[in-house]
Amino acid sequence: MSTTGKIPDEAELRQRLGDERYHIVREEGTERAFTGKYWDHHGAGMYRCAVCGEPLFQSGAKFESGTGWPSFTEPASAGAVGTKSDDRLAMQRTEVHCERCGAHLGHVFPDGPGPTGLRYCVNSASLDFDPQTGSK
């Protein structure tokens, strides 16, 4: 999806995304490291929410974290990504989600490079890439 669109109902979303992607965006799953479509992707453009098409991360904010997931220093805009506390794995983490539709994206950690010092560690399955948007 290349532009922000309507948020599909759950049945339509499950059919469009398939079981694995649906599990990640709606049931807060995680893809295996080094298996996602965008972990080693280097194109210029915009990474958008796989559910609603909202612009989430510009390619200029992507960096090589060595973790096996796409990693970004900052969202495309201040209101694009929301956060909530996640303590499901007996550790305190901060989950990130699309602020518009609530799709689970991944987690943010305070061990990234400048300028923010943050690492938004995102599942490829929660993203679509739009090469036409340009980069930062």
Residues recognised as catalytic: 121
Structure tokens at 85: 């506390």
Cβ pair 35, 67 in contact under 8 A? no
Contact call for residues 106 and 59 (beta carbons, < 8 A): no
Residue 124, class by beta-carbon neighbours within 10 Å (0-12 exposed, 13-18 middle, 19+ buried)?
A: buried
What does the radius of gyration of the chain's CA atoms come to, in whole angstroms? 14
